[in-house]
């Protein structure tokens, strides 16, 4: 399973696992389907939304790791 990094594009994160969407929605990223998400990195999106990117990366990776059992 790939690891999420802060330089990854939002759309690519969603392609890895659609289950990441609720995590992003819970931190205020409500426009996951908008054109900006196709070219915006996680770090850029977190900056716009005033969220700590390192915490989000950790939460996303924790989620992905929990699915591996």
Q: Are 43 and 53 in contact (CB under 8 A)?
A: yes
The CATH number corresponding to 10-67 among 3.40.30, 1.10.12, 1.10.3910, 1.10.3470 equals: 1.10.3910
Domain ranges of the chain: 10-67
Rounded average pLDDT over 16-41: 88
pLDDT at 36: 75
Q: Tell me, what's the pLDDT at 56?
A: 97
Contact indicator for 36, 1 with CB cutoff of 8 Å: no
* Cα Rg, the chain, nearest whole Å: 11
Q: Tokens 């950790």 label which residue?
A: 58
The residue-averaged pLDDT of 5-32 equals 92
Alpha helices, DSSP H, located in 1-69? 10-16, 21-26, 42-49, 53-67
Predicted TM-score (pTM) of this structure: 0.91
């Amino acid at each position: 399973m790939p690891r999420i990094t802060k330089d990854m594009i939002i759309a690519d994160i969603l392609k890895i696992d659609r289950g990441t969407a609720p995590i992003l929605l819970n931190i205020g990223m409500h426009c996951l389907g908008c054109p900006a998400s196709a070219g915006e990195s996680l770090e850029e999106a977190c900056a716009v939304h005033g969220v700590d990117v390192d915490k989000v990366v950790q939460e996303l990776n924790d989620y992905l790791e929990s699915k591996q059992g």
